[in-house]
A and B are shown apart, each in its own frame.
Chain A
Amino acid sequence: MRASVATFGALMWSGFRRYATYRQATVAGSFTNIVFGFLRCYVLLAVAAGAAGGVAGGYDARQLATFVWVGQGLLNVVGLWGWNDLAERIRTGDIAADLLRPVPPVTAYLAADLGRAGYQTLTRFVPPVIVGALAFPLVAPSRWQTVPLFAASVLLAVVGCYGCRYLVNATAYWLGDARGPLMFWTLSSGVLAGLYFPLRLLPEWLTVTLWVATPIPGLLQTPLDVLVERDGPALQAGLVGLQAVWAVIMVALAGVVQRRAERKLVVQGG
């Protein structure tokens, strides 16, 4: 038990260090997050200004600005986009080396991903939030439980997103190449996670269906709604609970898919 905790920690640390080496990319990525923050924030503020009572989808202007800027910060912490390590290792056959290791791939990649998320919390989360706070009035949480609930929600978003990405990458076991599914993921996760606009702008039945039937709103919309206190405390706790259920389902599913794949895997190449 102690040994496996130590291994998990070491893998996390390696994930942290791997991303810490791309320092220029961190600066470049933050710049882009900030530009998109301005674009989305201005558009949503114009929508709120044109909506009855200055409230759109149940958010006032300050809540919308906070939603956008913290969303830009969380985008890379959650790691919605750009992870194709597993698909590439399957395509090139390098995955065979991973299978020889004592730690199952789903666990090993999860540890590395948590390390990555830790590094990006320190580097990618803060810059857009600071710029957003300087350029627009944001809201600060008013309830004591909001901050711990937000932290838990972010962690669940990271784990849930990892499960989703693992499954998308794992299609390479059957398709040979996961480019198509990865593109499909990039497109659908952006819009369904609430990155382009808060899902609460959609008709209520649609928002509820997305929340209950898919894990994707749990990757961004839930933590952001918790932070801007869009709902009462009970509903917020419920949303985080739902997020936890989906995170567990996605990671468990990743494990099942991985085991199925290993049974049929034919490694290509020499």
Chain B
Amino acid sequence: MADLKPYAALIGGRFRSATTYRASFAVELLTNAGATAVDVSTIFVLFHAAKVVGGFTLGEALLMTGLTASGFVLADLTVGNIDQLKTYVRMGTLDSVLVRPLGILPQLVIADLPLRKLMRFVVGLAVLVVAVASNDIAWTAGNVVLLIVAPLAGAVFFGSIFVLSASLAFWWVDSGEVGAAFTYGGRDFTSYPITVYGTWFRAIFAYGLGFGFVSYHPALTLLGRADPLGLPAWAGYLSPLVALAAAGIAGFVWRIGVRHYRSTGS
């Protein structure tokens, strides 16, 4: 346990710095809860304009949104702040992280204590609960396990995407918001039934990058609905495998990236 002490000290320091500007922090807390609420209300607005979107009803789509929201929020809460890596690389502050005898990834993960994102998690989970309640799900053992595993697998998957996107900065310091296309873009992609997207775009995001297994396929399995795109019913159970594969790739790229890193010298 003594090994965790330095991390606890880091967390304590971040906690104090996060709460120094108290009014600003309070606004951050509330805004974070609002962020997920806005994503979800967008679904309601769109389904108000059309009863069926991409062949799915609001209730069915909400299950996909709920799985995405809870998985994404869990990833964002834990490793989401890694997207600050490009700033650390540019400013040269990554050096101070590298010289400490602690893990690089864990240090960066707690570098900006995501306390303000806690509220977001509550909202994300609430969406999933409402979505499950508003659908007629057969409570088989397989479905119960899937309902617990799918958000966790989603979190691991999104966490891997966060790490992969951030790793870009090791090679391309000025990568700007490219990472956001896959982290936040991936979240938006998985919030809707993938039947709404054009063929090649869907092929890249859903199957090339694996986003189809975050919420679309698990939701179909939970709903007991056949996939209009033709994948078998058990495809939903692939979500943890896809997540683990993503985590493996992310870990590999991250390690190469750290070795590739050259300080700016500042």
Contacts and interface: CB of A to CB of B under 8 A. Distances in A.
B31 A183 contact: yes
Interface stretch (A41-49, A208-216, A260-268): A41-49
Interface in A163-197: 171, 175-181, 183-184, 187-188, 190-191, 196-197
A171 B44 CA distance: 33
A28 interface: yes
Contact of B27 (A22, A24, A181, A191): A181
Interface string B164-208: 000000001011111011100100110010011110010000000
A233 interface: no
B180 A43 contact: no
B174 A28 contact: yes
B53 A47 contact: yes
B141 interface: no
Contacts of B50: 46-51, 56
Nearest to A199: B45
Contacts of B192: 43, 46
B24 A176 contact: yes
Interface in B25-40: 25-28, 30-32, 34-35, 38
A25 interface: yes
Contacts, number: 122
A180 B31 CA distance: 8
B84 interface: no
Q: With a 10 A CB-CB cut-off, give which of B26, B27, B172, B197 has the most chain A CB atoms.
A: B27
Given A47-B53, A178-B24, A180-B27, A197 B45 contact: yes
Contact of A183 (B32, B52, B172): B32
Contact of B49 (A47, A135, A180): A47
Contacts of B122: none
A31 B181 contact: yes
Contacts of B201: 38, 42
Interface residues on B, range: 35 or more
A179 B28 contact: yes
A40 B201 CA distance: 12
B99 interface: no
Contact of B21 (A49, A176, A197): A176
Given A42-B198, A179-B28, A180-B31, A201 B48 contact: yes
Interface in A8-60: 22, 24-25, 28-29, 31-32, 35-36, 38-40, 42-51, 56-57
Contact of A180 (B24, B52, B53, B188): B24
25 contacts: A24-B172, A25-B174, A28-B172, A28-B174, A28-B175, A28-B177, A31-B178, A32-B180, A35-B181, A39-B189, A45-B196, A47-B49, A49-B50, A50-B49, A51-B50, A175-B21, A177-B20, A179-B24, A183-B28, A183-B32, A184-B30, A190-B38, A191-B38, A201-B46, A201-B48
Given A50-B53, A201-B49, 7 more contacts: A25-B176, A31-B181, A38-B198, A42-B196, A47-B49, A50-B49, A171-B24
Interface of A: 22, 24-25, 28-29, 31-32, 35-36, 38-40, 42-51, 56-57, 135, 171, 175-181, 183-184, 187-188, 190-191, 196-197, 201-202
- Top 4 A-B pairs, shortest CB-CB distance: A180-B27, A50-B50, A28-B176, A180-B24
